[in-house]
Amino acid sequence: MMVARLRVFPAISRNRDPQKYVGELMRVAEFADRNGFEGILLFEGNDVFIEPWAMAQHIMAATTRSSPLIAVNPVYMHPFTVAKFVSSFAQLYGRKIYLNMITGTAISDLQGLGDEQSHADRYVRLGEFVALMRELLASPRPVNVNGRFYRANNLQLRPRLPAELMPEFLIAGQSEAAQRVAEETGCIKMQMLPPDLDRGLIASGMNFGIFARESSEEARQAAKARFLDNPDDRELLALTVENSDSVWKRQLYEGQSGELADNGYWLLPYLTFQADCPYLVGSHAEIGAKLEQFAAKGLTTVMLDMVADETEMQHVCKALAASGMF
């Protein structure tokens, strides 16, 4: 029987330097292309230095097989616009892309954009967005929709997208509204790496970082040297959590320490605003074994925070290879 392969989308660890942003993204994208990763995750938001669709085109032009995972927030775009981009990339590069459907951005950004929808209503809108996009991409006939947030009258996308290039949709929210929309629309559900590592796995997609070395002790020492604790960075995260209604951000933030657990779960990179997710720290073999266990419980897709450094990326590859799933 053929073993299912994990689809891994690297993302660069949080970058606050616009001078280094493109270089780091391209370094990870090209490494990912050479080493069998599915593509690269591209963030969206008022504070993102380069619009993800522009970055996706830059990456696709410079790679041979990369399928970017692009964050899409309805507050910035209409479903027809996104469908046109998907269709355009299919024609230009003959590759499918993946869409990370989000509603979250800073509350101050939503106010700046004049978006006054409640948290729950933003997910209703997200569900309508996915449904209309799918129809536009797949329907041989003009589309008519009369939704609460979107209406379409004889709207048609040309040319029709080949079935093999249809995008896959991911939803990363942890709230009840997010879970419901993911269920209703058939999107891949994403979650954060849980502290107990296995019992909390309830979705087919997971978001975390990997910090690996040959031995567990070496990994733990190197991780602590790479991600330093800093009160100013913790304060920065506190301010962003205060300016957000994201359920997962609050869940990760509240009552958590930065201690590196015996099982390798480590939240310090998140708590110090250096990453957007927890990390898994350990030897290549330990992390490989954990990934194999996750896959046995239904994990298929990983958003993987990565340090944009060749040595670190090689260690990540060794850990992934040790799983036998990559």
Q: What is the mean pLDDT of residues 83-93?
A: 97
pTM: 0.92
For the cut 90, the answer to whether the pLDDT of residue 284 exceeds it is yes
Question: Where residue 21 falls among pLDDT bands split at 50, 70, 90?
Answer: very high
Cα–Cα–Cα angle for 132, 46, 229, rounded to 5 degrees? 120
Question: Where residue 250 falls among pLDDT bands split at 50, 70, 90?
Answer: low
Structure tokens at 212: 């690996």
Range with the poorest average pLDDT among 27-36, 118-127, 172-181, 258-267: 172-181
Query: Among 151, 17, 174, which residue's Cα sits nearest to residue 104?
Result: 174
CA 95 → CA 69, 166, 197, 246, 287, distances in Å? 12, 9, 34, 32, 31
Question: Residues near 105 by Cβ (< 8 Å), separated by ≥ 6?
Answer: 44, 45, 46, 73, 75
Bridge-partner residues for 306, per DSSP? 12
How large is the angle between the packed helices 52-62 and 79-93, nearest 10 degrees? 10
Do residues 215 and 196 lie in contact, with contact meaning Cβ atoms separated by under 8 Å? no
Bridge-partner residues for 72, per DSSP? 101
For the cut 60, the answer to whether the pLDDT of residue 1 exceeds it is no
- Alpha-helical segments (H) within the chain: 18-34, 52-62, 79-93, 107-112, 119-138, 176-185, 216-226, 231-242, 247-253, 268-271, 284-296, 310-322
Range with the poorest average pLDDT among 86-95, 140-149, 178-187: 178-187
Percent of the chain with pLDDT over 90: 72
For the cut 60, the answer to whether the pLDDT of residue 253 exceeds it is no
Structure tokens at 235: 């304060």
For the cut 80, the answer to whether the pLDDT of residue 243 exceeds it is no
Largest pairwise CA distance in the chain: 62
Structure tokens at 38: 């599915």
More confident residue, 179 or 131: 131
Torsions phi, psi for 209 (to 5 deg): -115, 160
Which pLDDT does position 286 carry in this prediction? 98
Percent of the chain with pLDDT over 70: 94
188-192 and 279-283 beta bridge pairing: unpaired
